[in-house]
């Protein structure tokens, strides 16, 4: 949680680039979207469903935008701030666009998205090959479970085809919370064993 807050807090939201990057990273953290799902999103994919804002998505291996993620106010507000600053966006435009001179206003690519996330991770001192854009998806599912969601709710959020994929996250949380290494420490600390 502290790392996510640090990551989001490190983004300068004054510039258009900062507004875009904050909206992107915030969306990834709060919804667990895959990079391809974010890149495929258009402005018009933000819709109302049962009185709630949702983002229609074209999932991995899908031909149509037949799934969605809920956009809470905390996820939606930065997107609207970015779109307002960007100006002139219509429903058929990409939700997130490039700001570079070579392809300004064209759809952001998955590689560009990955580079932006890596840039901000490095900026807060998280410079590891293991930490990628996809790590934000893992963080989202983990946060979901830590916040008290059921395995089924986390599976729906992550859009995992198999619940076994979601169970890996629950196992890792449980493994850390109930680490037997702590029991060994307690036994050694509390017993008459000579300290090492």
Residue 138 designated active-site: no
Give me the catalytic one of 13, 19, 30, 34: 34
- Helix H segments across 16-90? 16-31, 35-40, 73-86
Residue 47 designated active-site: no
- Cα 9 to Cα 1, 14, 56, 190, distances in angstroms: 12, 12, 27, 42
Give me the catalytic one of 5, 134, 171, 182: 134
Longest dimension (CA), the chain: 73
Residue 137 designated active-site: yes
Task: Tell me how far apart the terminal alpha carbons of the chain are, to the nearest angstrom.
Answer: 35
Residue 80 designated active-site: no
Give me the catalytic one of 47, 60, 115, 119: 60
Residue 160 designated active-site: yes
Residue 86 designated active-site: no
Active site residues: 34, 60, 134, 137, 160, 169
């Amino acid at each position: 949680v502290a790392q996510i807050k640090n990551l989001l807090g490190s983004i300068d939201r004054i510039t258009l680039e900062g507004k875009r990057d904050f909206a992107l990273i915030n969306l990834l953290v709060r919804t667990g979207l895959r990079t391809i799902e974010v890149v495929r999103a258009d402005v018009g994919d933000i819709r109302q469903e049962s009185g709630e804002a949702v983002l229609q998505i074209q999932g991995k291996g899908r031909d149509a935008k037949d799934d969605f993620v809920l956009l809470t106010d905390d996820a939606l507000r930065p997107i609207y701030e970015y779109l307002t600053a960007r100006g002139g966006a219509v429903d058929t435009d990409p939700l997130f666009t490039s700001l570079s001179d070579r392809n300004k206003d064209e759809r952001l690519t998955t590689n560009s998205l990955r580079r932006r996330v890596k840039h901000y991770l490095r900026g807060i001192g998280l410079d590891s090959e293991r930490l990628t854009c996809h790590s934000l998806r893992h963080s989202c599912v983990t946060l979901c479970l830590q916040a008290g969601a059921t395995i089924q709710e986390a599976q729906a959020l992550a859009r995992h085809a198999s619940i076994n994929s979601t169970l890996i996250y629950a196992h890792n949380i449980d493994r850390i919370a109930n680490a037997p290494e702590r029991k060994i420490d307690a036994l050694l600390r509390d017993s008459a064993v000579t300290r090492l």
